Amino acid sequence: MQKLLRFLKPYTRYIVLGPFFKLLEAVFELIVPVVMARIIDIGIANRDTRYIWHMSIVLVILGICGLGFALTCQYFASKCAFAYGTDLRSALFRHINTLSRTELDRLGTSTLINRITNDVTSSQQGVNMAIRLGTRAPFLVIGAIVMTLLIDWQLSLIFLIIAPILGVVLYCVLTRTIPMYTRNQQKLDVIARHTGESLDGVRVIRAFSKQQQETERFAQECADLEKSMIAAGRISAVLNPATFLIMNLGIATVLWFGGLQIDAGRLSQGDLTAFTNYMTQILLAGVQLANLIQILTKAQASSLRVADVLETHSTMQGGSAQVTDSREAICFDHVSFTYAGAPHPALENISFTLQKGQTLGIIGGTGSGKSTLAQLIMRGYDATEGTIRVFGQDVKSFDLDALNRAIGYVPQKALLFTGTIEENLRWADENAPKENLRRALEIAQASDFVDKLQYGMQTRLVQGGRNLSGGQKQRLTIARALSGSPEMLVLDDSMSALDYATDAALREQLHTRCQGMTKVVISQRATSLRDADLILVMEDGKCVGQGTHEELLKTCEVYHEIYATQNT
Partner 1 sequence: MNKTIRRIMRYANPYRKYLLLTVVLSFIGVSLSLLVPIFIGKAVDLAVPLTVPLSTNTRIDLAAILQVVIELSVVVVVSALFQWLQGLCINRLTFGTVKDLRSDLEAKLQTMPISYIDGNARGDLIARVVPDIEILSDGLLQGFAQLFSGLVTIVGTLAFMLTINIKIALLVVVLTPLSFVVAAQITKASHNAFVWQSELRGELSGLTEELVGGVNVVKAFAYEDRAIGRFEEINRKLGAAGQKATFFSSMSNPSTRFVNGLIYAAVGTFGALGAIGAMPWIGVMSVGNLASFLAYANQYTKPFNEISGVVTELQNALACAGRLFALIEAEPQSPEPADAAALTDVRGSITARDVSFSYTPDRKLIEHLELDIKPGQKVAIVGPTGCGKTTFINLLMRFYDVTGGSISVDGRDIREVTRNSLRGSFGMVLQDTILISGTIRDNIRMGKPDATDEEIIAAAKAAHAHSFIKRLPDRYDTVIGEDGGSLSQGQKQLLCISRIMLCLPPMLILDEATSSIDTRTELKIQDAFTTLMKGRTSFIVAHRLSTIRDADIILVMNNGSIIEQGRHEELLAKNGFYARLYNSQFAD
In the region spanning residues 283 to 312, those forming contacts with partner 1, defined by CB under 8 A, are 284
Residues β-bridged to residue 546: 536
What is the rounded CA–CA span in Å between residue 348 and residue 367? 14
- The distance of Cα 161 from the centroid of its chain, to the nearest Å, equals 44
> Please, which residue, 20 or 75, has the CB nearer to partner 1?
75
What is the rounded CA–CA span in Å between residue 494 and residue 362? 12
CA angle 105, 109, 113 (to 5 degrees): 150
Nearest distance from C-beta of residue 115 to partner 1, angstroms: 10
Nearest distance from C-beta of residue 225 to partner 1, angstroms: 7
In the chain, the amino acid numbered 397 is S
Beta carbons of 120 and 89 less than 8 angstroms apart: yes
Whole-Å CA distances, 460 to 191, 265, 421, 445, 478 = 31, 85, 6, 19, 18
Residue 39 in contact with partner 1, rule: CB under 8 A: yes
In the chain, the amino acid numbered 72 is T
In the region spanning residues 324 to 383, those forming contacts with partner 1, defined by CB under 8 A, are 339, 342-344, 363-368, 371, 378, 380
Whole-Å CA distances, 310 to 10, 97, 157, 503 = 18, 11, 46, 44
Beta carbons of 116 and 305 less than 8 angstroms apart: no
Among 178, 214, 308, 322, binds partner 1 (CB under 8 A): 214
Residue 241 in contact with partner 1, rule: CB under 8 A: yes
Among 525, 542, 544, 548, binds partner 1 (CB under 8 A): 525
Look up residue 415 and give its DSSP letter: -
Residues β-bridged to residue 409: 490
Nearest distance from C-beta of residue 325 to partner 1, angstroms: 19
In the region spanning residues 258 to 287, those forming contacts with partner 1, defined by CB under 8 A, are 258-260, 262-263, 265, 269, 272-273, 276-277, 280, 284
In the chain, the amino acid numbered 254 is V
Please report the DSSP string for 117-140 in residue order: IIIHHHHHHHHHHIIIIITHHHHH
Burial class (CB in 10 A: 0-12, 13-18, 19+), 219: exposed
- The distance of Cα 354 from the centroid of its chain, to the nearest Å, equals 40
Residue 204 in contact with partner 1, rule: CB under 8 A: yes
What is the rounded CA–CA span in Å between residue 177 and residue 303? 15
In the region spanning residues 47 to 106, those forming contacts with partner 1, defined by CB under 8 A, are 47-49, 52-53, 55-56, 59-60, 62-64, 66-67, 70-71, 74-75, 77-79, 81-83, 85-86, 89-90, 93-94, 96-99, 101, 104-105
Beta carbons of 545 and 537 less than 8 angstroms apart: yes
Residue 209 in contact with partner 1, rule: CB under 8 A: yes
Nearest distance from C-beta of residue 2 to partner 1, angstroms: 23
Nearest distance from C-beta of residue 245 to partner 1, angstroms: 4
Nearest distance from C-beta of residue 409 to partner 1, angstroms: 4
Q: Which window, 6-14, 173-181, 226-234, 324-332, contacts partner 1 (CB under 8 A)?
A: 226-234
Look up residue 323 and give its DSSP letter: P
Residue 244 in contact with partner 1, rule: CB under 8 A: yes
Judged by CB under 8 A, the number of residues near partner 1 is 180
What is the contact mask toward partner 1 in residues 473 to 512, using x (rule: CB under 8 A)?
-xx----x---x--------x--xxxxxxx-x--------
What is the contact mask toward partner 1 in residues 160 to 189, using x (rule: CB under 8 A)?
----------------------------x-
Among 393, 404, 494, 518, binds partner 1 (CB under 8 A): 404
Nearest distance from C-beta of residue 124 to partner 1, angstroms: 8
